[in-house]
Amino acid sequence: MSRIGIGVVGTGRHGSRYARHLAEGDVRGARLAAICRRDREEGGTQAAEWDAAFHRDARDLAGDPEVEAIIVATPSRFHEEGVTAAAEAGKPVLVEKPLAPDLATCDRIVNTAEENQIPLMVAQTSRYEGPVRGLIDSLPSLGEIREVSLLLRSEDRTHMRGVFRPELDDGGALLDSGVHYFDLLPMIAGPIERVWCERHFIRGTAIDDGYTALLRTSAGARVVVDMGRWGNSRHETIEVVGERGILLASRTPPSLTKVVGRRQVDLPFPDVPGTLVPTMDDFLRVCRGEIEPPIAGADGRAAVAIVEACRRSAGAWIRLE
């Protein structure tokens, strides 16, 4: 079977990870055919290193006959440009999360893909993490879900880069990190009906670096999401309380535990060393017509819808569509 030629739009800090996996042969059945990047000098250097073609922009890349499918890994404010280029060229597209910075752009992206009849998949990569997959597989053992708590403490972007640059922050903590959790919640607890949120601005900029959100599902389950970018360390946990027990998943370091009464049992979960390769594996299956996109444009839109409700909340309950 011939390898599918992939073009990567945006090879900065995150997009270069996709390109490197493809160039190094980590994704079976795929090869890196081309890249484009706004920093042309750096992009040309990367293309030479990875033995790929370099194009000036997304439309040039999409028109390359060696490119059969496209990954858009630019900041979310440029996603529409990349998807439109793929759609006009009639090529499947995998878009990094968040799908877009706002709902209106999400709708245009989804409509563009549908009108041009191209497969659109959203890279909500947290779905592929081992403890998350193990937790979701174990949910039936809990019976009715009554409460979900998600806690994330991650690195301050100022600490990571030495100086805070707003143009490199993809929408703040709520948009950049929140979509991971807001994508997982319907899979864990069911459809979200109402949202209350308080955003935190510890750094004193106009971009939030944390938030506390309360959510209610249509079945009445209570959800708490508390996220902050303060300090230089990372820790992420998911707690699901059901009528027959509690599941505790840690993403860093990875673990999965079930609590029944006062007894704790460690549960097995898939060993997934990274999430990008399995995400691309599924995208290749989509490209071959073997499956429908497992994370569709509507899924990406749903996560952004919760983000927008959180932004509007300002301490008031907001009902989702």
CATH of the domain at 16: 3.40.50.720
Same structural domain, 112 and 150: no
pLDDT at 205: 75
- Please give the structure tokens belonging to residue 168: 């490199």
Is residue 90 one of the residues assigned to a domain?
Answer: yes
What is the pLDDT of the chain when averaged over all its residues?
Answer: 93
Largest CA distance in the chain: 61
Total domain count for the chain?
2
| Residue 248 shares a structural domain with residue 152 | yes
| DSSP tag of 143 | -
Residues pairing with 254 in the sheet: 251
In which domain, by residue range, is 97 found? Answer: 4-125+276-290
Question: In the prediction, which pLDDT does 166 show?
Answer: 52
Task: For residues 94 and 145, state if they share a domain.
Answer: no
- The answer to whether residues 181 and 310 belong to one domain is yes
In this prediction, residue 184 carries a pLDDT of 97
Give per-residue pLDDT as tens, 129-164: 999 999 999 999 999 999 999 999 988 765 445 455
- pTM of structure: 0.93
* Confidence band of 122 (pLDDT split at 50, 70, 90): very high
In a domain, 295, yes or no: no
Which burial class, exposed, middle or buried, applies to 49 when counting CB atoms under 10 A from its CB (0-12, 13-18, 19+)? exposed
| Whether 148 and 258 share a structural domain | yes
Give the model's confidence band at 106: pLDDT under 50 very low, under 70 low, under 90 confident, else very high.
Answer: very high
Q: Are residues 171 and 308 in the same domain?
A: yes
pLDDT at residue 234 in the model: 86
Q: Half-sphere exposure of residue 270, counting CA atoms within 13 Å on the CB side?
A: 16
Do 95 and 134 lie in a common domain?
Answer: no
pLDDT band for position 243 (cuts 50, 70, 90): very high
Residue 154 is assigned to a structural domain of this protein: yes
For residue 277, pLDDT over 60 is answered with yes
Task: Note whether 200 and 313 are same-domain residues.
Answer: yes
39 with 155, same domain: the answer is no
Residue of 24, 15, 74 whose CA lies nearest to 51: 24
Structure-model confidence comparison of residues 201 and 167, the more confident one: 201
Beta-carbon contacts of residue 297 (< 8 Å; ≥ 6 apart): 99, 106, 109, 110, 113, 114, 120, 122
